[in-house]
Amino acid sequence: MIKLPSLLDNDFYKFTMQNGVIKLFPRAKAKYEFINRGKHRFPPGFAAALREAVDNMSLLKLTTDEKQFLAKNCPFLDPTYLDFLQGYCYNPDEVIIRQTEENLQVSIEGYWYRAILWEVPLMALISELYYQLVQAQPESDKTISEKTKAKIEKYTELGVSVADFGTRRRHSFHVHSLVVETLKKFGGKTFVGTSNVYLAFLNKTKPIGTHAHEWFMFHAAKYGFKMANAVALENWTNVYRGDLGIALSDTYTTEAFFQQFDKKFSKLFDGVRHDSGDPVEFAQKTIKHYSSLGIDPSSKTIIFSDALNYEKVKKIAAFCAKKIGMSFGIGTNLTNDVGLNPLNIVIKMTEALPEDQQWQNVIKLSDEPGKHTGNLEAIALAKKILNIE
């Protein structure tokens, strides 16, 4: 049986969002669904093995050393939140797992402040269990380390900053740990940290992340599509007061985002994150947006995080150089480049229940139409309200 090593074996933005949810929406509820984009076929007994691994997660507890690491490295997280996290435990009853022949169904439902932590570790478990049960052998540890070393050395030659964003679709925790150790050992100033909080703790490096699409998706359910971006950004600044200042831009397309990312937000936030669509086109739009507001684009940063590899990074870096700050969050190409095909899977929020309201379908309008997620009627409604072609 696969066991996750720590409550912190999760992406940092899950904890930063959880803190925000506890402060602002403690009675809100949420539902999530597993989406098998790659149409992968899951072997017999997969659901039972995943159920066992999920049930075992109820035993995970924040240790004193881990709490001290968060207190020292994340001063924007209040002591009250760290006390809450020390008492938090996963409730496996919030996760429903079913398998019909080769098709896997996974859903999550509960109070949002609790259910928010499930997505990333569940995806990591699904990925690792898949390779284990189909008996697909990865390359050797030596080969993986050598490939990772070669990658970070090439990024160093480019003169860019790189972070590991690979928890959710990693081959395994073992490979992920090996990759981060190698990046830390050979990356120097090029390697700036990892989104995985536990590996940041083990390797004495920085946990990286701010918020995800679900932050904006919930705000649409509570405040409507027109107000979602603006209120979500306002609430984020109210919680973090200038810390964690990278704004995710593509929940309802970048065009709609920049319409509400006004001079106030553009000055308050350190930059934006790109997660779908053409990255160079996005950089052009971002530079134009800052310039139109009288803000020097070179004082801001774009975090690129969409399916990156060396060739993509090289192309982006060549365009952005001396125009705007940049950094790169690289996921699958680091943590699941082991000679096997990575799984193409996601888990997305599908419904939200704001306090004293009804369950609302939530959606994401990516800059790539193929990445839209959610109820088709809700997608059509959002496009109409936001004037999206």
Kindly list the domain boundaries of the chain, sorted by start residue. Answer: 12-137+343-369, 141-335
Q: How many CA atoms lie within 13 A of 199 on its CB side?
A: 29
pLDDT over 80 at 11, yes or no:
yes
The per-residue pLDDT for range 29-80, each reduced to its tens digit, is: 999 999 999 999 999 999 999 999 999 999 999 999 999 999 999 999 999 9
CB 346 within 8 A of CB 314: no
**Class for the domain spanning 12-137+343-369:** alpha beta
Given this model, what pLDDT does residue 349 score? 97
The rounded radius of gyration (Å) of the Cα atoms in the chain is: 20
Given this model, what pLDDT does residue 1 score? 80
The per-residue pLDDT for range 186-199, each reduced to its tens digit, is: 999 999 999 999 99
Given this model, what pLDDT does residue 216 score? 98
% of the chain at pLDDT higher than 70: 100
pLDDT bucket at 371, cuts 50 / 70 / 90: confident
The per-residue pLDDT for range 229-278, each reduced to its tens digit, is: 999 999 999 999 999 999 999 999 999 999 999 999 999 999 999 999 99
pLDDT over 90 at 217, yes or no:
yes
For the ranges 4-8, 263-267, 325-329, 366-370, which has the lowest average pLDDT? Answer: 366-370
Given this model, what pLDDT does residue 368 score? 86
pLDDT over 80 at 185, yes or no:
yes
Given this model, what pLDDT does residue 80 score? 98
Same fold, 12-137+343-369 and 141-335: yes
Name the nearest CA neighbour of 88 among 7, 28, 23, 29: 7
CB 1 within 8 A of CB 56: yes
pLDDT over 90 at 221, yes or no:
yes
**CATH number for the domain whose boundaries are 141-335:** 3.20.140.10
Q: Quote the mean pLDDT of the chain.
A: 97
Q: What's the whole-number mean pLDDT along residues 278-285?
A: 98
pLDDT bucket at 389, cuts 50 / 70 / 90: confident
Given this model, what pLDDT does residue 245 score? 98
153 or 369, which is more confident?
A: 153
